[in-house]
């Protein structure tokens, strides 16, 4: 009876589920609820960066920061327009 060692067939991935969740939060946060999803993307990215050191985790942190900056800009525009923010296309 021959035995097969599956150690060479198994590849380890350095992408964690937290990095994927952070990326989703960062991308969705660009369009919906950036004040909530931005910090979540940063937290998920920081934990994933600590665990795996993947590049995706760095993108999570960057997208989270962009989400927060976007929300600050939206608040500033709303404050200059009498408290309202409207988006007109066309």
Q: How far apart are CA 31 and CA 66, in angstroms?
A: 12
Contact 45, 7 (CB under 8 A): no
pLDDT band at 5 (very low <50, low <70, confident <90, very high): low
At residue 25 the predicted structure's pLDDT band, cuts being 50, 70 and 90, is very high
Q: What is the dihedral of CA 38, 41, 43, 47, to 10 degrees?
A: -170
Q: What confidence score (pLDDT) does residue 77 get?
A: 84
Q: Whole-angstrom Cα distance, residue 78 to residue 64?
A: 21
């Amino acid at each position: 009876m021959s035995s097969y060692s599956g150690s060479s067939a198994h590849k380890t991935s350095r992408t964690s589920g937290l990095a994927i969740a952070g990326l989703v939060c960062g991308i969705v946060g660009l369009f919906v609820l950036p004040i909530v999803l931005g910090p979540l993307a940063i937290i998920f990215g920081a934990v994933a960066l600590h665990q795996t050191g993947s590049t995706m985790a760095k993108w999570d942190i960057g997208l989270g920061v962009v989400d927060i900056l976007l929300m600050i800009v939206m608040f500033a525009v709303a404050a200059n327009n009498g408290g309202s923010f409207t988006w007109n296309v066309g």
